[in-house]
C-alpha cells in the first residue's frame, strides 16, 4: 500500500494509473456479472450476495459519480479527475471479490485479517487523496483517516451482521471476529493517513504538487 500511494502521488493523471483504474472497474464488473449468471461459482453465495452485488459497484463508482455531479465544476483540490484516488478506492472491492471467488477467506487462515488491514488502508488512502486538502497537518490527516476508516469499518461490520452473520454458523464467533476486524481496519486507516501525510510532505519538500 505504501509503495502504491507514494508512487502514484508523484504524477498527476499518469497514464498507467488511469488505465489501471479503468481495468479494475472492468474486471470488477465482469466478476459481478458472472456472479449473477453463475451464483454457485461466485464465492459469495450465502455471504449476502445480493447486497454485495449492489454495494460493490456503488463503492467503485462513487468517486466518478461525485466528480460528474459536483467535482468537475467545483473541486478546488483536483483540476482534473483524480485517477489515483479512484484506483485506490476501486481496488478494495475488486480484491475482496477475487478473494471470495478463490475461496481464500475460508481456506487461508490469515486472509480475512490481512484484508481488513490492507483493504481499509487502500480505501482510506483513496478517500484522503480525493477529498482531504494536502495542507492538513499530520495530526489532522490522521484524525480524518481515523474518522472515515473507523466509521466505514463499523458500517461494514453492521452490514455483515444484518445481511448474513446473524443467521449463519459464524454467529458463535462473530463478537471476537468483529472486534478483531474493527481493530485491523482502524489500524489500516491510520497507516494510510500517516502514509499520505508523509508522501505529501516529501513531495512538498521537493517542490512537487501534493495532490
CA 168 from centre of chain: 26
Burial of 84: CB neighbours in 10 Å, binned 0-12, 13-18, 19+: buried
No. of helices (H) and no. of strands (E), the chain: 9, 0
Note the pLDDT of residue 41: 83
**CB atoms near residue 102 (< 10 Å):** 13
Please give the C-alpha separations between residue 25 and each of 91, 170, 208, in angstroms, as whole numbers. 9, 31, 29
Please give the C-alpha separations between residue 197 and each of 72, 116, 136, 141, 145, in angstroms, as whole numbers. 24, 21, 8, 7, 10
Per-residue pLDDT of the chain (211 residues; tens, 9 = 90+): 544 444 444 445 679 999 999 999 999 999 999 999 998 888 888 787 888 899 999 999 999 999 998 877 777 777 789 999 999 999 999 999 999 999 999 899 999 999 999 999 999 999 999 999 999 999 999 999 999 999 999 999 888 877 766 666 666 667 778 899 999 999 999 999 999 999 999 888 877 666 6
pLDDT in tens, 103-151: 999 899 999 999 999 999 999 999 999 999 999 999 999 999 999 999 9
Amino acid at each position: 500500500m505504501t509503495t502504491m500511494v507514494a508512487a502514484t502521488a508523484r504524477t498527476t493523471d499518469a497514464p498507467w494509473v488511469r488505465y489501471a483504474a479503468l481495468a479494475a472497474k472492468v474486471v470488477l464488473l465482469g466478476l459481478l456479472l458472472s456472479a449473477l449468471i453463475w451464483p454457485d461459482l461466485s464465492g459469495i453465495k450465502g455471504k449476502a450476495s445480493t447486497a454485495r452485488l449492489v454495494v460493490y459497484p456503488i463503492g467503485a463508482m462513487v468517486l466518478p459519480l461525485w466528480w460528474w455531479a459536483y467535482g468537475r465544476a467545483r473541486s478546488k483540490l483536483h483540476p482534473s479527475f483524480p485517477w489515483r484516488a479512484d484506483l485506490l478506492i476501486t481496488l478494495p472491492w475488486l480484491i475482496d471479490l477475487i478473494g471470495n471467488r478463490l475461496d481464500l477467506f475460508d481456506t487461508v487462515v490469515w486472509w480475512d485479517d490481512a484484508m481488513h488491514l490492507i483493504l481499509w488502508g487502500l480505501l482510506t488512502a483513496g478517500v484522503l487523496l480525493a477529498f482531504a486538502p494536502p495542507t492538513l497537518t499530520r495530526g489532522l490527516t490522521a484524525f480524518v483517516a481515523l474518522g472515515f476508516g473507523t466509521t466505514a469499518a463499523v458500517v461494514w461490520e453492521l452490514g455483515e451482521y444484518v445481511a448474513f452473520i446473524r443467521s449463519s454458523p459464524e454467529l458463535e464467533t462473530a463478537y471476537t471476529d468483529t472486534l478483531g476486524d474493527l481493530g485491523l481496519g482502524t489500524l489500516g486507516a491510520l497507516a494510510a493517513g500517516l502514509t499520505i501525510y508523509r508522501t505529501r510532505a516529501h513531495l512538498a519538500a521537493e517542490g512537487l504538487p501534493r495532490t
